[in-house]
Amino acid sequence: MTVAVHATRDGLGIAAPRPLFAVRPRPPVRLDAYPYDVSPDGQRFVVNTLIEDTTPTTITVMLNWTDGLTKR
């Protein structure tokens, strides 16, 4: 969540909270483990999320690739 804060002569003006970004974090495995972390400078987030796309990825395996190398 994020909240805009504005300084005024009378004090602080605080806007309504709003989501910073939308994620679907993985369910926690333990109560003392979090599915996210924040960088030390507070500028980046790492979130362990569920993957939506289940399209299989193609992997190409090359065997005996060293046979094509020439010696000098």
Q: Is residue 36 part of a domain?
A: yes
pLDDT for 9-66, tens place per residue? 899 999 999 998 888 877 777 777 788 889 999 899 888 887 777 778 889 999 988 8
Write down the pLDDT at residue 7.
Answer: 93
Q: Is residue 60 part of a domain?
A: yes
Q: Is residue 35 part of a domain?
A: yes
Q: Is residue 15 part of a domain?
A: no
Q: Which domain holds residue 29?
A: 22-66
pTM: predicted TM-score of the whole model, two decimal places: 0.43
Write down the pLDDT at residue 51.
Answer: 75
H or E segment to which residue 50 belongs: none
Q: Is residue 55 part of a domain?
A: yes
What sign does the dihedral 61-62-63-66 (CA atoms) show? negative
pLDDT over 90 (residue 3): yes
Query: Exposure string (b/e) for 5-42, b if CB count within 10 Å is 16 or more?
Result: eeeeeeeeeeeeeeeeeeeeeeeeeeeeeebeeeeeee
Number of domains in the chain: 1
